[in-house]
Amino acid sequence: MHDPPPSAAADKAELRRQLSRARIEMPDSIRNEAGRLIRDHLLEMPEVAAAGTIAAYYSVGTEPDTRSLVFALWKRGSYVVLPVLLGDGDLDWASYEGPDSLAPGPRGLLQPIEPLRGAQTVARADVVLVPALAVDLSGNRLGRGGGSYDRALARVGPQVPVIALIYDTELLPSVPVMPHDQRVRAVARPGYGITLLPGAESANPPHGYA
């Protein structure tokens, strides 16, 4: 008699541990260079160059650095909105108006201090940039487990480029998937640029998030 397979939740937790450990062991010089290269790839992407509104995020910890990316998008005239974590784990959004428009928030985040624009703001973005620990070839995204971005991405239309920013080794053949998980449509990696994910073309049917 075979043991039952481990649950997707347990598989996710173990994969998160492995990926988080690898990120911690990464030298700062490699992490900083990865952020610079990802920034340049995204700034050269036609969809990003043409976007009026971009939903982005301010990196923390071992994530690929997005601070110079956010600043560059803002300086060249894009309307950049960043997430504000709400008490129930959902994401509201507020505009980025330069580094001085940010203040410490929960979980080590830096969040904009501008007026909140509402959770539906992400639905009006022309491009959405999201964090991830890994993404698979079908666009399934492994986040940190809070579910905030799954709720946000459920509001984004099927034609909007949703791009996860990851390191080179974090595009995997598959990641564990749960019913509420929302897919991304591309990844940005330092050594490979932008990779579109054909398996994500029919992504993100509604799963009960509003």
Give the mean model confidence (pLDDT) for residues 94-117: 93
Q: The tokens 């999201």 sit on which residue?
A: 130
Per-residue tokens: 105? 């928030």
Q: What are 121-155's pLDDT values in tens digits? A: 999 999 999 999 999 999 999 998 888 999 999 99
* Residue 71's CATH number: 3.40.50.10420
Give the mean model confidence (pLDDT) for residues 89-118: 94
The total number of structural domains that make up the chain: 1
What 3-state class would DSSP assign to 192? coil
Query: Which pLDDT band holds residue 7 (cuts at 50, 70, 90)?
Result: confident
**pLDDT of 200:** 62
DSSP character string of 55-117: E-----TTSPP-HHHHHHHHHTT-EEEEEEE-TTS-EEEEE--SGGGEEE-GGG-EEE-SPP-
Flag whether 207 is in a domain. Answer: no
User: What mean pLDDT is reported for the chain?
Assistant: 91
Flag whether 7 is in a domain. Answer: no
Residue 202 has pLDDT above 80, yes or no: no
Flag whether 209 is in a domain. Answer: no
Query: Which pLDDT band holds residue 4 (cuts at 50, 70, 90)?
Result: very low
Flag whether 98 is in a domain. Answer: yes
Q: What are 40-71's pLDDT values in tens digits? A: 999 999 999 999 999 999 999 999 999 999 99
Query: Which pLDDT band holds residue 205 (cuts at 50, 70, 90)?
Result: very low
Give the mean model confidence (pLDDT) for residues 159-187: 95
Share of the chain above pLDDT 70, in %: 91
Flag whether 6 is in a domain. Answer: no
Cβ-based neighbours of 80, under 8 Å, separated by 6 or more: 53, 54, 56, 70, 73, 74, 95, 96
Q: Which range of residues forms the domain containing residue 93?
A: 12-200
Flag whether 190 is in a domain. Answer: yes
Per-residue tokens: 97? 């108006």
CA 112, 34, 55, 61 dihedral sign is negative
Flag whether 208 is in a domain. Answer: no
Give the mean model confidence (pLDDT) for residues 75-86: 96
Flag whether 3 is in a domain. Answer: no
Per-residue tokens: 140? 């399934």
